Every structure is written in structure tokens, then in C-alpha cells.
Amino acid sequence: MNESDANQRESGQEFQPKFDAAGLLTGVVQDAESGEVLMVAFMNAEAVAATLNTGFAHFWSRSRGKQWMKGETSGNRLRVVEIRVDCDQDALVMRARPEGPACHTGARSCFYRVLNTAEGESQLEPLG
């Protein structure tokens, strides 16, 4: 990519998602009301397009090797109300209204534990 292309991606108005060598970018989902981070997953071009077309968050599952819509089996969908794009367009923050828990464990957010490193040991503890 030449300097002109990089400048356009970083300061222009055209949406030019920058996918990695595997064809993926990072998608972060925040609660639209509280700003709480609900989940992080990967998106390919098809997942980005499906999200834009349907208004619901779609992702690429690396473990299953397929595209999926959050909540397609559980009903716990993420209704996207805004998408923010980082400076070099290789990550998206989707502000969404969750229709149920965001985590497959049933937790509101996938980030329901904190890493405690007290006394030189690393231990996960549930958020209070």
C-alpha cells in the first residue's frame, strides 16, 4: 500500500476494511447504553456485509470455520446501532442493544472475570 492509500484509509471517508492475512478483522461489541464490552470476535468480509445488511452482529468462527450470527440458535441477538472504525480500519467497535446474554455461558458479558495477581499468583475471580 502506498502512502496515498494509507492516508485515504486513515483520514478519508471511504469504508475500506483492512483484513489480515487470514481475511479477518477484530470486532468488539459494546452495550450501546452502558458502554460495557460484551464480547470480542473475528469478522470476515461476509460477516461485515451481513452485519451491515441485517443490523445484527455476524462473525466468523475460526473453530467452526463458518460465518454465524450471534443469537442464531439462542435468540440472544445483538442489534447493532452504530459501528465505529479504528484509524487503520482493521478493527470495528459495534455499539449494540443485546437481546439477552452476550456470552455463550449465559453471562451478560464474556468479560465476567477479573485477573487477580495478588501475592505473585494469577487467579481469575468473578466480577462482583
pLDDT digits (tens, 9 = 90+) for 73-121: 999 999 999 999 999 999 999 999 999 999 999 999 999 999 999 888 8
Per-domain boundaries in the chain: 3-9+17-102
The β-bridge partners of 60 are 42, 67
What number does CATH give the domain 3-9+17-102?
3.10.20.810
What is the pLDDT confidence band of residue 23, given thresholds at 50, 70 and 90?
very high
Tally Cβ neighbours within 10 Å of residue 113.
Answer: 12
**E strands in the chain:** 25-31, 37-43, 58-61, 66-69, 78-85, 91-98, 113-116, 123-126
Q: Who's near 15: CB < 8 A, 6+ residues apart? A: 85, 89
Cβ contact 69:52 at 8 Å: no
Q: What is the pTM of this model?
A: 0.89
What is the pLDDT confidence band of residue 6, given thresholds at 50, 70 and 90?
confident
